[in-house]
Amino acid sequence: MECTAAVLLLGLLWALLWLLYDKKSNRRTCRLPPGPLSLPLLGNLPQLDKHAPFKSLLKLSETYGPVMTVHLGWQRAVVLVGYEVVKEALVDQADDFTGRMQLPFLHKATRGYGLGISNGERWRQLRRFTLTTLRDFGMGRKGMEEWIQEESIHMRARMVKNTPFDPTFLLSCSVSNVVCCLVFGQRFNHDDDDFLQLLAIIREMIKFASSPLGQMYNIFPWLTERLPGHQHKVFAHMETVRSFIKLKIQQHKDTLDSSSPRDYIDCFLNRMQQEKHNVSSEFFYDNLVSTVMNLFLAGTETSSSTIRYALSVFIKLPDIQEKMQQEIDAVIGRQRCPTMEDRKSMPFTDAVIHEVQRFLDIVPFSVPHYTLHDVSFRGYAIPKDTIIIPMLHSVLKDKKQWAEPRSFHPQHFLDQNGNFKKNPAFMPFAAGKRACVGESLARMELFIFLVSLLQHFTFSCVGGPDSVDLTPEHSSFVNMPRQHQLIATPR
């Protein structure tokens, strides 16, 4: 009885403290966007589908409008729904929304350094450097396009022919090798045990980050850290990746020729040397380690999953696959490797690849933003330290922007004459100043890999087109394509 009474007393005290806090908070933020009532500590989490929370938020927006306030646990968040609102925030008011939330999982992985979750001068210096290096990468032995072309040849050689197989592993190896060429200046053999372990770790980390347990860690890190569970294995994996990156950096230091940089690490090391006496420089060792980790993690799984989803689309919609192959044969033939220059002459193929990205909608929430100061937006007052969730799902499936948002429809990117047309609501890489830094690389990978595959193979599966389900598998953070056994028939 005494124990029960103590629990009740603590519960009442907790509720009272919450009400006092909420009352004080409401006084300070009376012009916050509207939103549903929230529970003490849990906020609105009980109202969200843990496997597809973006669906729950879309439903809530029907009541509270395109700009609404929710509470994820104790954290206040403003959710932006629809193209017009997301564009207004990320593009028209870009300076107000450049902040990045310090997601606890990413903070633990990077120890607070690097490009991914940085803000202020650190973010500006590292982003400018990374964009320039990616754009101008040709100072080494090969440019990015050549790396991707070479990797596409290795991928085709390892493609299982005329026998059902799961392409997940092969595609992950190929895409990751492009990032490895860019960052480490080398590719790894698909049979390299260390490389295979790293790929398995990356998949495990992303799977955890996208799971309900991973999202619980992001909301209640202080609690999750103290509980037993799978998260501690993932934390150990983080250290394995860091150790690998540190080893590669040391190897680069030992063999560095500052007059002939081979890759991203060499370029960064050169910059470190140039600015070693600049006390305000962000070019130092910890930022190098964590930025390489950012590029390595982000550059592997998203592009390989998108390619895998495209192959499922080709099987599900064989007419589209055939029409793409006809265009490829007419423009490139079957002998030489595709180049990005070919894309201008291949509007249908370009439209299909864009539609694959739109329809998969791989990161429905985007990576959360954060207000670094008080912001005025659409008549509302959004206080400093508020999470901002620009729902990319609501942009890529906006009924006002797409003729058939819930259908796979390449004509979304074609005009009446069959020419490729852009759509400003195409935001799979987000938009504004925090748009994905690897967008140009990802576009190159998707085009060259997919065109190269369709040059040489026709894809099908044992159960036929009707057996393929294009509905992604939802998780708390990402939409992943379903795994299918496919058959690659040489042309």
**pLDDT for 251-270, tens place per residue?**
999 999 999 998 999 999 99
Taking each helix axis from N to C terminus, what angle separates 285-316 and 347-360, rounded to the nearest 10 degrees? 110
Q: pLDDT (tens digit, 9 = 90+) per residue, 123-170?
A: 999 999 999 888 776 544 457 888 899 999 999 999 999 999 999 999
Say whether pLDDT at 90 is over 90: yes
Say whether pLDDT at 4 is over 60: no
Say whether pLDDT at 227 is over 70: yes
Region 183-199: what's the mean pLDDT?
89
Say whether pLDDT at 83 is over 90: yes
- For residue 10, what pLDDT is reported? 46
Q: pLDDT (tens digit, 9 = 90+) per residue, 299-327?
A: 788 999 999 999 999 999 999 999 999 99
Map out the domains of the chain as residue ranges.
1-30, 42-490
pTM of the model: 0.91
Q: Which residue has the tokens 């090969």?
A: 142
- Which one is the CATH code of 42-490: 3.60.15.10, 1.10.630.10, 1.20.1250.20, 3.40.50.300? 1.10.630.10
Say whether pLDDT at 29 is over 70: no
Q: Read off the tokens for 162.
A: 């005329």
- For residue 3, what pLDDT is reported? 44
Backbone angles phi, psi at 372, to 5 degrees: -85, -10
Cβ-Cβ contacts under 8 Å for 384 (sequence gap 6 or more): 371, 372, 373, 374
- For residue 142, what pLDDT is reported? 59
* Residue 91 DSSP class: I
CB–CB of 121/282 below 8 Å?
Answer: yes
Q: In the chain, what percentage of residues exceed pLDDT 90?
A: 69
